[in-house]
């Protein structure tokens, strides 16, 4: 009994562990604010205005929304090369021509395409502009000809057309791959 009398004051001062405490708040959660917290400290009676909303996201593309996406431009180009339609293929390049010796000259020089398989990767931004104005499309190409099957790997770089109507090929690096 004497021990209970000695412990009772300690329990009162320290508090009983069976008391219910409010749940601990998540430290990563933003603190709750009240009108009193948001009131101006200077005593100004002006009405509180809500925080400005976040700005609308920038356009996701530097070209018209109905234009072919970058991988589809690459597919159209390689298909035109395979069909021997170099006029259509060249029109997909900046300035309407790949220049003197294009970096995919080995692909363009192949005769008698019998089969074609094109696998493109997701476009990679190669600049810091928002939205990106220089994109690189990784590509793997398998071509069947009369003499056998050849594989190519590399990338095509695209940029928006001057009028923004779509993407055009700006450069390429396509190399044959040995099996």
DSSP string, 90-136: HHTBGGGS--SS-TTHHHHT-----EEEEEE---EE-S--SS-S-EE
What's the whole-number mean pLDDT along residues 11-16? Answer: 48
Residue 81: closest CA among 106, 63, 52, 101: 106
Q: Using one digit for the tens of pLDDT, what is the confidence trace for 120-163?
A: 999 999 988 888 889 999 999 999 998 899 999 999 999 999 99
Distance CA 55, CA 65 (A): 20
The owner of tokens 């070209």 is 63
Residue 151 CB partners (closer than 8 Å, separation 6+): 140, 141, 142, 143, 176, 177, 179
Handedness of CA 107, 113, 119, 124 (dihedral sign): positive
* 49, two tokens: 């205005």
Whether 18 shows a pLDDT value over 90: the answer reads no
Higher pLDDT, 15 or 90: 90
Q: What is the pLDDT of residue 121?
A: 96
Residue 49 has pLDDT above 50, yes or no: no
Read off the DSSP letter of residue 27.
T
Output the pLDDT for position 60: 55
Q: What is the mean pLDDT of the chain?
A: 75
pLDDT of residue 170 exceeding 60: yes
Both ends of the chain: CA-CA distance in Å?
A: 91
Q: Is the pLDDT of residue 69 over 70?
A: yes
Exposure string for 16-31, b = 16+ CB within 10 A, e = fewer = eeeeeeeeeeeeeeee
Nearest partner of 146 among 109, 108, 114, judged by Cα: 114
Contact 151, 177 (CB under 8 A): yes
- Residue 138 is encoded by which pair of tokens? 């990784």
pLDDT over 60 at 61, yes or no = yes
In this prediction, residue 2 carries a pLDDT of 52
For the cut 80, the answer to whether the pLDDT of residue 174 exceeds it is yes
């Amino acid at each position: 009994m004497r021990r209970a009398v000695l412990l009772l004051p300690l329990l009162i001062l320290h508090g009983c562990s069976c008391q219910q405490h409010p749940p601990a708040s998540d430290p990563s959660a933003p603190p709750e604010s009240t009108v009193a917290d948001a009131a101006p400290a200077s005593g100004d009676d002006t009405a509180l205005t809500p925080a400005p909303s976040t700005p609308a996201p920038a356009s996701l593309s530097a070209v018209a929304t109905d234009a072919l996406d970058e991988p589809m431009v690459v597919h159209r180009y390689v298909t035109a090369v395979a069909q021997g339609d170099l006029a259509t293929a060249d029109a997909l390049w900046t300035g309407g021509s790949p220049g003197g010796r294009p970096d995919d000259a080995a692909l363009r020089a192949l005769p008698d395409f019998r089969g074609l398989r094109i696998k493109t990767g997701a476009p990679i931004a190669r600049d810091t502009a928002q939205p990106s104005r220089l994109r690189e499309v990784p590509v793997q190409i398998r071509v069947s000809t009369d003499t056998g099957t050849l594989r190519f790997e590399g990338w095509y770089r695209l940029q928006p057309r001057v009028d923004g109507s779509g993407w055009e090929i700006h450069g390429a690096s396509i190399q044959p791959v040995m099996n």
